[in-house]
Amino acid sequence: MSDYVLVINAGSSSLKYSLVDAASGAAPAVGLVEQIGEAEGHHSHRGPDGELSTKLKVENHEDALRAALEAFSSHGPSLDDVELAAIGHRVVHGGARFGDPALIDDELVAAVTELVPLAPLHNPANLEGIEVARRLFPDLRQVAVFDTAFHQTLAPEAYTYALPLELRDDHGIRRYGFHGTSYAFVAAEAARLLDRDLADLNLIVLHLGNGCSAAAIRGGESVDTSMGMTPLEGLVMGTRSGDLDPAIHAHLARELGKSVAEIDQLLNHGSGLKGLAGGNDFRELSERREAGDARAQLAFDVYCHRIKKYVGAYYAVLGTVDAIVFTAGVGQHSAAARAASLANLERLGIELDESRNTASGADARRVSADDSPVAVLVVPTNEEWQIARETVALIR
């Protein structure tokens, strides 16, 4: 049997897929179907026999997966030739039930359905992807890899909110954390780069993409993380506020007459960098900031100040830190964000090397000074490869 896994990440109006060799990480084909259910959708696919970029109407996720299969036939590679080992699905919320990847069957589908109230935007879309793939590949084993699973090692004091305890026990209102697939991958890569055993390392990992979170990782296990019951808590993100005084909710409702749905929308989609500076693209924000735009500068400052606070908090949680690791779009590419987030932390043993930090590079690398007691690393994440690896590990 091959090690090829079809990795599927189904969103509410999109279906992202890649064919990944779990052994090497090679991805001979990647594709994305967007604007599912809209008047006009878009499909892109890159395979060994060329690239496809086409507009088409895509009624639903089944149409999207059928379009993907056609693209495999036309632009390669042929799925008959690669002999898929399995399909791996990204599932956002596994609640307290899933601390590991799980084989997909009717029981799993029912369990993920029960978790929909905790992730009303994400889990239904993930389930849609699962149902469609089960219909089109009835004989292939399918695995769910949960974004929350990595953080199931958190201790009660880290995952419990200071609310009446019944809310936790009867309604699942507790911290779960997200980006777990990325943390698992990046932590292992960091250990490799440091040439150390992951079991001996204390890491602070900063996943700074459109969604942003931080994690304190001891010996390869998550001990704290900044996202909570939902991905809204913690760092400042592209469009999400991150941490807030919880009384702001009531104030927005009482004084500004906003509904619960409007507040939810505001905090998830109209806040963060977008709310502060009018746009969530960090690259554009950086260009505006360099050109002297005061709102872009403030957004950048708020963003980096929050990161620094979490670095300090997780330093205290871990006691000692071997490395701080930056990953995802902003973490990998913005030297300015790394420098501002870690400025003046020499007394904590954290010292960047300016020329290493500003040098561009696509590979995992060290950007700290040689005599910095805490290493600072940039490690590109690869969630698709991690999903493929966990899928193959489970079915074998």
* Catalytic residue annotation: 147
For ligand AMP, the binding residue among 334, 341, 372, 386 (CB under 6 A) is 334
Least distance to ligand AMP, CB of residue 281, Å: 4
Nearer to ligand AMP, 96 or 121 (CB): 121
Residues 6+ apart with CB under 8 A from 204: 214, 215, 216, 217, 310, 311, 314, 315, 318, 321, 323, 324, 325
Residue nearest to ligand AMP (CB): 329
Q: With CB under 6 A as the contact rule, which of the stretches 50-58, 115-123, 239-247, 322-330 interacts with ligand AMP? A: 322-330
Nearer to ligand AMP, 159 or 282 (CB): 282
Contact letters for ligand AMP, residues 273-302 (x by CB under 6 A) = --------xxx--x----------------
Nearer to ligand AMP, 153 or 297 (CB): 297
Residues 6+ apart with CB under 8 A from 64: 14, 15, 33, 36, 41, 43, 58, 132
Q: With CB under 6 A as the contact rule, which of the stretches 4-12, 151-159, 297-305, 327-335 interacts with ligand AMP? A: 327-335
The answer to whether the beta carbons of residues 289 and 281 sit under 8 Å apart is no
Q: Which two tokens stand for residue 51?
A: 């690239």
Least distance to ligand AMP, CB of residue 186, Å: 12
95: nearest Cα among 155, 162, 177: 177
Does position 209 bind ligand AMP by CB under 6 A? Answer: yes
Residue 249 DSSP code: H
Nearer to ligand AMP, 243 or 281 (CB): 281
- Token look-up 């878009």 returns 42
3-state per-residue secondary structure call for 324-365 = EEEEHHHHHHCHHHHHHHCCCCHHHCECECHHHHHCCCCCCE
Positions that interact with ligand AMP (CB under 6 A): 209-210, 238, 281-283, 286, 328-330, 333-334
